[in-house]
Amino acid sequence: MSEPAHPLVQVADATLAGPAGARWPDLLAAVLAHFDCPVGTVHLLDPADGRLHLAAQRGLPPVVLDKVVTIPIGKGMAGIAAQRREPVQVCNLQTDQSGVVRPGARETRMEGSLAVPMLDGAALRGVLGIAKPFAYDFTPAETALLLAVAARAATHIR
């Protein structure tokens, strides 16, 4: 018998089973509360143009919001998480020199950040991202939980 899903994964199921208009902001709010993050995004893949489109956000300043409404695959943390189909983490957005962080991301004033692909099997459906206002390395358990939530969310996208 399999182990019951983490309560946050259960919240994802319950939230996404509701009305389509409210589900992404509600799911994002639950994720941010669980991880104690003030900033987060949900981007969904549009198969027609092959780009990630913002479905929900919390905490982004307007100057950043304009830059993340649509994201090409392979650009920035969300785009790279989508391209690689694996989590992308940065301990400090403000000082990162890896090339993963786009210049506009520093304008969030966040530091610790994690973006994970929303995968339904092998199919990419979007990217879920969260951030903290201080340097932070998300643990393997935290990363696995966010991946599990993202995977469950991906099953609700058609």
Mean pLDDT by 10 residues, the chain (158 residues): 73 74 85 95 96 95 89 94 95 75 71 94 96 94 95 88
**pLDDT value, residue 5:** 79
pLDDT of residue 2: 60
pLDDT value, residue 41: 96
Q: What is the DSSP string of the chain?
A: -PPPPPHHHHHHHHHHTS-HHHHHHHHHHHHHHHHT-SEEEEEEEETTTTEEEEEEEES--HHHHHHHSEEETTSHHHHHHHHHTS-EEES-TTT--SS-S-GGGGGG---SEEEEEEEETTEEEEEEEEE-SS-----HHHHHHHHHHHHHHHTT--
**pLDDT number for residue 92:** 78
Q: Considering the domain 7-154 in this protein, what is its CATH number?
A: 3.30.450.40
Predicted structure pTM score: 0.91
Domain boundaries, the chain: 7-154
